[in-house]
Chains A and B, each alone.
Chain A
Amino acid sequence: MKRRLSLIGAIGLLFVYLTGCGGGRTLTKEERAQGSLVFGQIDMDEAPSNFQWLSTRVIPTPKELPYWNFGVHKNRIFLFDGLPKGSYQMDSFGGHSSFLWIFNNQDYSYNFPGQGNGFRIQDQGVYFMGAFKYKAIKGKGFFTADKWDLERVKSPTEKELLIEVIGLLKKMDSPLVPLAEKHLRSLQ
């Protein structure tokens, strides 16, 4: 499915997140221990930016704290340790391009459409969202926006990625390491 590429100044968007108008909240370790591990990967090699953030929207959307922000690691892995039960819809992700490896010269925000792209957390567990590759679809004219697509790829597998994620969780002192390791054993 094709998506529009929005060259939004993500500074504004991030400002919104950081000020709490649309932002996520910080969970305590006890709260995280009750939630689920949700993870996946986006390969941004073909994207005009790197991968710095990913946001989901709570469904139905509350007025207070409507978004939950995933952590992004190694410029490709997104994970949330401790996501509470509920329904969520992928909202947007983004990053920035760089010039001469030094300057951040453009912030990018990629918005998911208003339907689909949702998931449900009904029981505490480990949820693999999949491995995806960003595919650019060029616009046809000056006023035609470029589009993008997230294409599902077979590699890395859930098991391969989970091994990396467990390493990250240990560094984060996550309470969900035992849950993730138990799930890894079930994948053997």
Chain B
Amino acid sequence: MNRLTTYTLGLALLGLSACSIPNIRPEAKNAGDIGQGEVVVVGSVVLDPAMGPDEQVIARGINMDQMKYAALAFGPGPYQGEDEPGMGVYEGAISVPFGAFFFSKFDPEPITLRMLIYTTSYSVQASGRHNVSSDWRRAFMPANRKLDLRDGDQVVYIGKLVFKRDEFNSPKGLVVLDEYDRALPAIRKRFGHGVKVRKALLKTE
């Protein structure tokens, strides 16, 4: 994710929450982007049934594709907070379009994927000259799966994360598919053949 993308998403989050901007996890664009002691986590996230083209209802004039992205939230252990987490949950999150590979930088230590968050609708209401309020509704899909990241890792493939749901966006479970054969060419294209790649599919916490 480039700086502008991060900034616009952050700005949106700031505007929506009136609090500080969370730091979205940086993306590695090439092999030179992988710093000493950093590991790039690769995977993808989809919904089952898939997100419909017009399913996310975003207010007209809100020209931010990021509002439609999937956000993967991480933490040191399983999430045990409120049903509807505050903005702090986005700290260190991955923001990526559904179905696309993410290439996000982590420290080489165990960390837990806590949940998937996505926007179901975002609208703005105005009443009078000075009263404008937003209505941001999101779905939260629990994951609580551990990433097995180790010292010496450079690139780790964690799988295709399939979040199952019903028509009301109620969570119906997470399935991790092994699409390593499809991911490896994308990894080689981005980082070349000089990086070490390891497959470590997400585990149950």
Contact = CB atoms under 8 A, between A and B. Distances in A.
B167 A114 contact: no
Interface stretch (B21-29, B125-133, B154-162, B186-194): B125-133
Interface string B61-82: 0000000000000000000001
A9 to B, nearest CB: 3
B84 A60 contact: no
A2 B84 contact: yes
Contacts of B167: 59-60, 87, 118
Interface string B119-159: 11100011110010101011110000000000000000000
Contacts of A111: 135, 137
B140 A115 contact: yes
Contacts of A13: 125
7 contacts: A9-B131, A12-B127, A87-B167, A114-B138, A115-B138, A115-B169, A116-B170
A8 to B, nearest CB: 5
A151 B128 CA distance: 34
A60 B120 CA distance: 12
Given A9-B128, A60-B55, A63-B54, A117 B168 contact: yes
A8 B168 CA distance: 24
Contacts of A16: 125
Contacts of A7: 133
B137 A12 contact: no
Interface of B: 18-19, 52, 54-55, 57, 82-84, 119-121, 125-128, 131, 133, 135, 137-140, 166-171
A65 B112 CA distance: 42
Given A59-B168, A115-B138, 18 more contacts: A1-B83, A8-B125, A8-B133, A9-B126, A9-B127, A9-B131, A59-B167, A61-B54, A61-B57, A63-B54, A111-B135, A113-B138, A114-B119, A114-B137, A115-B139, A115-B140, A118-B167, A118-B168
Nearest to A66: B57
Contacts of A59: 167-168
A74 to B, nearest CB: 28
A89 interface: yes
A113 B137 contact: yes
Nearest to A107: B127
Contact of A8 (B55, B84, B135, B140): B135
Interface string A8-24: 11011100100000000
Contact of B125 (A1, A4, A9, A118): A9
Contacts of A143: 18-19
Contacts of B120: 114-115
What 6 A-B pairs have minimum CB-CB distances, sorted nearest first? Answer: A9-B127, A114-B137, A118-B168, A114-B120, A115-B169, A115-B139
Interface in A123-159: 143
Identify the interface centre among A8, A13, A63: most chain B CB within 10 Å of its CB: A8
A117 B166 CA distance: 12
A50 interface: no
B127 A11 contact: yes
